[in-house]
Amino acid sequence: MNYICLVEDEQKVAGFICKGLEENRYKVKTAKNGEEAEAFISAEKFDLLILDVMLPDTNGIDLCRKVRLTDQQTPILMLSALEQVQNKVSGLKAGADDYLVKPFHFGELLARIEALLRRKHVPATEDHILEFDDLKLDTWSNTAERAGRQIVLTAKEYGLLELFMRNPNKLLSRDYIAEKVWGIDFDTGTNFIDVYMNYLRKKIEKDFKRKLIHTVIGMGYIMRAER
């Protein structure tokens, strides 16, 4: 049974996460602040840490940095109330492995946790870099670069890009994308997919000659290199 340390001062949020994890057969210990967290982490061995960014006596990013001084192995997932690219970048720079924005669906949290725990058991030699044409994606740090130039992506843009990188030359329908990236069926229609696809394409194609993702009218999108 995997043992998780959850560091979250908001009781309602902590209770919700804790209950969900326990229902999924995880053992959870909750710390209400940085001081308590440090005491728990130094006393026991956890399989994964969940750190909220906003804590009463410190912030999750500093806490993460501190943990990483002595422990580079345990997966760390950061939680933040705001989708701030800066927070995400700081968190990942501080050594966090993944980053989730509140509010989130519990299923998404669970999926991230499972992915992090799986990754832990993957031999270090397994390639975590996905490549397509001159685009590279690092699935450990969730960062992208094209022709050596770093591209800053939001969590959803990253999720979209990873989906395409894992399915090159395949036509992906909007419904499929919605299900894979957002994890739920949308009954409100899937126009928002086009909005996100435009954001993503601007970021990865704007300054470059070749388009990588193409619209297939009435069908969806495909990642394909055109020479």
Angle between helix 106-120 and helix 11-23 axes, rounded to 10 deg = 60
Residue closer to Ca ion, measured from CB, 52 or 162: 52
Burial of 183 (0-12, 13-18, 19+ CB in 10 A): middle
Residue closer to Ca ion, measured from CB, 78 or 160: 78
Minimum CB–partner distance for residue 109 and Ca ion (Å)? 15
Q: What is the 3-state secondary structure (H, E, C) of 73-102?
A: CCCEEEEECCCCHHHHHHHHHCCCCEEEEC
**Is the distance from CB of 199 to CB of 159 less than 8 angstroms?**
no
- CB neighbours (10 Å) of residue 146? 20
Minimum CB–partner distance for residue 211 and Ca ion (Å)? 42
Minimum CB–partner distance for residue 66 and Ca ion (Å)? 17
Residue closer to Ca ion, measured from CB, 19 or 118: 19
Residue closer to Ca ion, measured from CB, 30 or 190: 30
Where along the sequence are the contacts to Ca ion (CB under 5 A)?
9-10, 52, 54
Q: How far is CA 6 from CA 28, 53, 85, in A?
A: 7, 12, 23
Which residue has the CB atom at the shortest distance from Ca ion? Answer: 54
Minimum CB–partner distance for residue 21 and Ca ion (Å)? 17
Minimum CB–partner distance for residue 182 and Ca ion (Å)? 24
Residue closer to Ca ion, measured from CB, 15 or 138: 15
Residue found under tokens 């450990």: 140
The kind and range of the H/E element at 30 are strand 27-31
Residue closer to Ca ion, measured from CB, 52 or 97: 52
Minimum CB–partner distance for residue 102 and Ca ion (Å)? 9
CA atoms within 13 A on the CB side of 120: 19
